[in-house]
Amino acid sequence: MGKFVPVTEKARKVVKHKLDVPYGSTDRTKYDVYGTNLPKDAPIFIYIHGGYWQEGSRDVATFAVPVLVGKGIRVITIGYDLCPQVRLGDIISEIKMAVEEILKLASDNGSRCVWVAGHSAGAHLAMSLLFDEPWLNKMMTREYMNLLKGLVLIGGIYNLNPLLGTTINDALKLTKDEIKAYSFIDLDTTKRKPIQGLKVIVTDGECDTPEFINESRKCAQKLVTIVDDVQYLLLRENVDHFDIVEKLTEPEFLLTKTILAHMSSN
């Protein structure tokens, strides 16, 4: 994590920002806004960090900031409480709270669109937005879904069963009910109405582990049943699980260009 700090320090030196905006009552339930000098209607890119729901912070989640802000896109990095201090369900609720607040802000400011991205466990948290129908209905009623145009799920964890019996679960202490509720690729979606007007990009690097790549492909297959525009993107640029987000600092990286192309067209 130490090598990520210089990226954040550089971003904060060159990009206008506002740190520690609270959306909850704890020290970690805050977000940082980059590109505060952009027009009010600027598109918004929300980024959710990874770390197996027990590590990481918004302080090491700024890779996309310089390039996107340079192209007129405001970037917001979300922090959240970590296990074992809270349960996984609490974190999922926090993310929905933060995204809802940002969507309200975007609506009030006339933002052109909002995209949500997450890496690893952050991708799981981003995906959780699509599997809470009451929350989605609430966003639709408030007309926030008109703004939410896309999700980018990067090297995500979508099936929690393999975590049982590993040291990762020492902090998570997952119950059978939690595994069933939050293993999104196994949920029954036969009665779900497709979400329209939303683009979901599921992506991995070709040097990622076969387990991650397989889960992402299953994730894309599941999302096709509830979202009308899903793309699976395997990045063949000699990148692994961590290189993907680090390379978001590069304007010519395929994922960076893909995000820019979609957000500039909204």
Instruction: Supply the DSSP string of 224-235, one letter for each residue.
Output: TTTEEEEEEEEE
Could you give the residue numbers annotated as active site?
120, 208, 241
Q: Which residues pair with 200 in a beta bridge?
A: 151, 230
pLDDT digits over 88-138, tens only? 999 999 999 999 999 999 999 999 999 999 999 999 999 999 999 999 999
Reported as a single tens digit per residue, the pLDDT across 58-78 is: 998 999 999 999 999 999 999
What's the whole-model pTM score? 0.96
Helix (H) or strand (E) holding 260: helix 254-265
Span 182-200, pLDDT tens digits: 999 999 999 998 899 999 9
- Half-sphere exposure of residue 14, counting CA atoms within 13 Å on the CB side? 13
CATH number of the domain that residue 160 is part of: 3.40.50.1820
Alpha carbon 116 to its chain centroid, in Å, reads 5
Query: Tens digits of per-residue pLDDT, 32-47?
Result: 999 999 999 999 999 9
How is residue 102 written in tokens?
């940002």
Nearest to residue 10, comparing CAs of 55, 62, 82? Answer: 62
Contact 227, 194 (CB under 8 A): yes
Q: Are 77 and 31 in contact (CB under 8 A)?
A: yes
What's the structural domain count of the chain? 1
Q: What is the pLDDT of residues 153-178, one digit of tens each?
A: 999 999 999 999 999 999 999 999 99
What is the domain range of residue 209? 3-265
